[in-house]
Structure 1
C-alpha cells in the first residue's frame, strides 16, 4: 500500500508477540468497522474475542443483507454508497488482511459535483501537492475564479492552511460551519460545491456542524494530504468482499462472531472483570470494547454501572445527526453510458448524490446485463426531523429525473429504502465534551466514528483508527505488542503558508508544537 510520503506513523505499544498462558477474554460490542478493527487486532495477538452485533449482518452503516426482487433476483441491499479514500490508511490496513492484492476495491476516475445552477466541478487530474492542487483547482474551476480572490476574507481562510488536531478544535469548534463559510466570503456556488457537499457527507447541515470539523476535513481530503479527493469503491457488496472474510479470520483464530445478539448491559464483576448481558445469556470478560452508534452506546451505558458520573454524562450528551434516506431503484432501462458511477449534487432539493451501481459493482452489473436495466441509488442527507418518508422518496426520485432525464420513462422493477438517523453529530462546541477511547475504567474502551481521537481522521477511517487504538490500549495493559497507526500529515503541508497562517490567520494557541500528541487523551 502506497502512502503520502509525509504520512505519519504512530507506533503501537511494545510487548510480547501474542498473549501467553490463559489469554484474556474481550467482548467487543458492535460489529461495524470499529468493532471489527478492534477484534481483528486482538484476535491476531492471541486474545479470545467475542463480537456481539445486534443486527443480523456485520459492517454497521457499511453493512448489507440479502433481499429478493419482484423479478425473483436475489441481490444484496446495503445502507448506501461509501467512498474508500486513498488516505484511509488504517481502514485499508484492516481490509488488507483479507484482500492483500487490493482487488476488493476499484478506482473511481473522478469525484464529480453538479449544481442545479449549471456549475460542475471535478478533481481528477489535479496536482497532488499543496499549493499546486489549490492553484490547479482555481485555474480550471467554473465556480471559483481568480477574480473572486479579492473578495475572499484571507484572514478567515488562512487557518485552513495550518490545521492541527486538537489545536484547530480549540480555535474553531465554537463556530458552526455555515458561519465560518460566510466569514470566508467564497462565491455562493463554491460554497455549495466545494464545502457544503463535503459537510453534508457528515449527515448534517453546515449550521449544525462544527467549523473545526469542516476545516479538519478540508485538511484530510485536500490541503493536507497528497492523496487528494479521488477514491475507490467496493467491487462486490460489502458483506461478500469485506466483512464476512474478516469474520472468518477472527473465528479462525479462536474468536466468536455473533450476529443478532444485542447487548443489554455491561456490569463490573463476576468470574472475570465484567459480566456482559447479551442475547439472553451472560458473557464473562476481562475487558470490553464498546463500538456502538450513538443510540446504542447511550442505551448500554444507561443500563449499566460503568465509569464515572461525569463520563456517563458525556455519553448521554452525544447527539445523532438528522435522518438520511437511501433509495435504491432497479430500473428496466439503462442510464446513459457516460454517467459517472458516483455524482455529488447540490441545489436539487434534498438529493445529495446519485450512484449508478452497475457502473462498478459486480452484482449490480450482472443484474443490469441480464435485464437490460440499471441499478441507481439516491441519497438525501440531513432531512428534517419527523420527515414523511413517502414524500422524501418521491422528492429524491423526481430530482433523479431532473439530473438524469433518461430515467423519466424508466419503469421501476423494484425498490428498497432505508430511512435512518444513527450517524453521530459533531455540533459546535462538542469536541471538548466528546468521549475518547479511554474511559475511567482501564479495561473498558470506546471505538467508533463518534469517538474523539486527536488525529486528523474522519468517517470510516475514524472508526477503523479508534478500533485499532482501543485494541492497543488493552494490549498495552497486558504487555502485548500492538498495531501501528498511520495518518495524513499532522499539520499543513507548506511551511511558508503555515508561517503566514500563524502570523496573520490567528493568535497563537495551545498545541503549537508538531510532535505526535497522545491520541487517546483523558476519559
Structure 2
C-alpha cells in the first residue's frame, strides 16, 4: 500500500485514560481544492513535521525548510565513526515518550501504525547521593491513588511530611487549568512555589527537580506555572502514569526517516540543509520565504522554530507579521547550555543497572542511560565488543572550562556506578547545546500563540503558549497540528482531531477546594 493509501489523518488514540479530552477536528471539505494551496513550514523538528504532515494529508502543496541535513530538530541524529572503526549514531540525548503524548504518538503512527519502533522501559528510577532511592514502577496510575501511592511508597515523602505541608498554598495542584494556572503562578519560580507549600526537601530534590530539569532550567528560574502544569499532566491529572517508552533504534532510523518517506509519499518537498534567510508578508495575503538567495511565494507559512531561530527570523523579517509580535519574539529567552556525554566503554556496567536513571545530588549529573538496555544499535555494539554504551546528561550547566566539566560528569558516573572506574572509553562524544526554550518567571505573556495577526502565518513549537494541558515534545506536536488546523479552517478544509489529558483536576471535591483557595 502506498503512502496515500495508508491511514492518513486518523485521530490519535486516547490511551488508557477514559477521561482524556478529545478536541474534534474543525469541519470542512475532505481535501484542498485545485490548485492546491502552497504552504511553507520552516523547521523540521517535531512541530514542523506535525504541521507538514497535517497539511500534506489534506492535499496542500507543502515545502518544509530545515537548516540541518536531517529531520528531527532537537531529536535529530547523525552518523559518526568510532575509534574502533564501527559506525554509530550520535544524538543530543535521551528523551522519554510518555503515554500521555497522544498527539506525538499519533504523528508517529502515520509512518508506523503499531508504534513498533517504541519499547517500554520497566521503571523510572531515581537516586539521590544521600542514598535515597525512588521509583514509579509500583505507583498506581490513576489519581488520586497515584499521589497516595507515591506518599506510601516513597522513602523521600512520608505521611508526616504530608501533614507538615501548607495545604492552602498547595491547592493549585488540585485543579490545574490552562491558561488560569499562568495567571496564578507565572510570577513565582518553581523553587519558591515548592518552598511555599513546604514540599519535603528530600522529595523536592529526588522527584520535582527531576521534572523541572526536563525544561533544561534551574528551578529558581523556571515559572512555577510550568512545573504545576507538568505535575497535572504526569501525576494528578492523568491516569497514564509516569512510565514511558523509548525508540528501539536511534532517532533517525526509528522515527524521522520513516516519517520523511511518509511525507514525501504525500507530495511534500523536504528541503533539508536549507536555512531560511527571511520571510515577509506578500501584498496578496500570502507570504514569501527567501532561502539560498531564492524567494518563493506561498499561501501560508508555519514558523516551527526554537526560541533562537524565531528571534533570528523575526529580526531578519521586518515585514513579517506586525511590530509588537516581532518585539515579543525578540524577548524570548533560551535555557542555559546543557551537556550530553556518550561513552563507549570497553567493559559492561553491572547487569542490574537500569536503562535510565534520574539522579540528584551528584553535582551536575542529572541522569544516566545505558543504551544497550533498549537501543538496538548500542546493543549490537555491546554484544560485539563486550562493553557498554553509557550516556550522561547535565542540564542548565554553564561552564567556561568545558573539558573540566566533561571530566566532572565522568567522576559522577564513577560515584553512581563504581564498576565504571575500571572501564576505558573506546571512544566518547560530548555535545554542548544551548537552544532549548526557557520559561522564565513572568515570561508567559511574551510567548507566541499559534495564530498571529497575519492570518496566513502560524507558529508551532514547544515554546508556544496554548490553552491546552501539554508540555515538552507533546506541546511541539500539538501546536504543529493546531497551526495546520488554523490554516485548513481558512481554506474550508477539515482539520485533525486531537487529544489531551483532562483539562482540569479529576475530583469535583478537590476542584472546589482549589477554587476556595483562590479567594
User: TM-score by structure 2 length?
Assistant: 0.96
2:505 to 492, 498, 517: 492
CA distance in 1, matches of 2:86, 2:295: 40
2:363 to 340, 349, 353: 349
2:69 to 46, 56, 62: 56
1:224 aligned partner: 237
CA distance in 2, matches of 1:324, 1:475: 37
What SS is found at the alignment partner of 1:101?
A: coil
Using the TM superposition, give the Cα deviation of residue 269 of structure 1 relative to its aligned residue in structure 2, in angstroms. 2.2
1:380 aligned partner: 394
Q: Residue 401 of structure 1 contacts residue 407 of structure 1 at CA under 8 Å; is this kept in 2?
A: yes
Q: In 2 relative to 1, CA 271–248 (structure 1 residues): closer, same or farther, beyond 3 Å?
A: farther
2:297 aligned partner: 284
| Stretches (4+) displaced over 4 A | none
Write out aligned runs for 1:345-494 (5 A). Answer: 345-384=359-398, 387-494=400-507
1:79 to 82, 92, 95: 92
Q: Residue 277 of structure 2 contacts residue 316 of structure 2 at CA under 8 Å; is this kept in 1?
A: yes
1:253 aligned partner: 266
Task: Name stretches of at least 5 consecutive residues in structure 2 with no aligned partner.
Answer: 1-12
1:37 aligned partner: 50
CA distance in 1, matches of 2:283, 2:173: 50
2:101 to 51, 68, 88: 88
Using the TM superposition, give the Cα deviation of residue 164 of structure 1 relative to its aligned residue in structure 2, in angstroms. 0.6
CA distance in 1, matches of 2:16, 2:281: 42
1:521 aligned partner: none
Larger deviation: 227-236 or 142-151? 142-151
Using the TM superposition, give the Cα deviation of residue 463 of structure 1 relative to its aligned residue in structure 2, in angstroms. 0.2
| 1:105 lines up with 2:118 in the alignment | yes
Q: Residue 28 of structure 1 contacts residue 50 of structure 1 at CA under 8 Å; is this kept in 2?
A: yes
Q: Residue 141 of structure 2 contacts residue 242 of structure 2 at CA under 8 Å; is this kept in 1?
A: no
What SS is found at the alignment partner of 1:206?
A: coil
CA distance in 1, matches of 2:120, 2:480: 25
Q: In 2 relative to 1, CA 334–242 (structure 1 residues): closer, same or farther, beyond 3 Å?
A: same
CA distance in 2, matches of 1:204, 1:239: 27
Cα deviations by residue, 1:402-430 (Å, 9 ceiling, x for unpaired): 00001001010001111011000001111
CA distance in 2, matches of 1:228, 1:185: 24
2:130 aligned partner: 117
Task: Name stretches of at least 5 consecutive residues in structure 1 with no aligned partner.
Answer: 508-523
Using the TM superposition, give the Cα deviation of residue 271 of structure 1 relative to its aligned residue in structure 2, in angstroms. 8.2
Using the TM superposition, give the Cα deviation of residue 283 of structure 1 relative to its aligned residue in structure 2, in angstroms. 2.3
CA distance in 1, matches of 2:462, 2:509: 33
Cα deviations by residue, 1:143-180 (Å, 9 ceiling, x for unpaired): 11112222111111121011111111111111111111
What SS is found at the alignment partner of 1:134?
A: helix
Using the TM superposition, give the Cα deviation of residue 272 of structure 1 relative to its aligned residue in structure 2, in angstroms. 7.8
Using the TM superposition, give the Cα deviation of residue 273 of structure 1 relative to its aligned residue in structure 2, in angstroms. 2.3
What SS is found at the alignment partner of 1:207?
A: coil
CA distance in 1, matches of 2:267, 2:159: 60
Cα deviations by residue, 1:459-507 (Å, 9 ceiling, x for unpaired): 000000000000000000100111111100000111111112222x322
Cα deviations by residue, 1:234-279 (Å, 9 ceiling, x for unpaired): 1011111111111111111111101110001002227882221113
Write out aligned runs for 1:79-228 (5 A). Answer: 79-228=92-241
What SS is found at the alignment partner of 1:284?
A: strand
Using the TM superposition, give the Cα deviation of residue 281 of structure 1 relative to its aligned residue in structure 2, in angstroms. 2.0
Q: In 2 relative to 1, CA 331–427 (structure 1 residues): closer, same or farther, beyond 3 Å?
A: same
Q: Give aligned pairs, total.
A: 505
Larger deviation: 245-254 or 442-451? 245-254
Q: Residue 287 of structure 2 contacts residue 456 of structure 2 at CA under 8 Å; is this kept in 1?
A: no
What SS is found at the alignment partner of 1:213?
A: helix
What SS is found at the alignment partner of 1:66?
A: strand
2:352 aligned partner: 338
User: TM-score by structure 1 length?
Assistant: 0.95
